[in-house]
Amino acid sequence: MMEYEPGYLARSLAGHDKGQLYRILKAEGEYVYLTDGKKRTINNPKRKKKKHVQLQYPNKSENV
């Protein structure tokens, strides 16, 4: 089973942001909160269902 942990990279699979690369800020239930550092900052994360993102292993940042 995939684990959605803060710091992992994730690519959007659906929506207007399809293909965009994000960093996972937090995971709650069936949703993850994503940041890209430009439009989606820590103060304004993108909420997206887990089924609409693909984890990009093994790129976990220790500084998140």
Domain map (residue ranges) of the chain = 9-56
Q: What pLDDT does 63 receive? A: 57
Q: What is the pTM of this model?
A: 0.83
pLDDT in tens, 13-62: 999 999 999 999 999 999 999 999 999 999 999 999 999 999 997 555 55
Q: How confident is the model at residue 1 (pLDDT cuts 50, 70, 90)?
A: low
**One-letter identity of residue 13:** L
Instruction: Indicate the pLDDT class of residue 12, thresholds 50, 70 and 90.
Output: very high
Residue the block writes with tokens 């992992």:
8
Give the DSSP H/E element, type plus range, for residue 53: strand 53-56
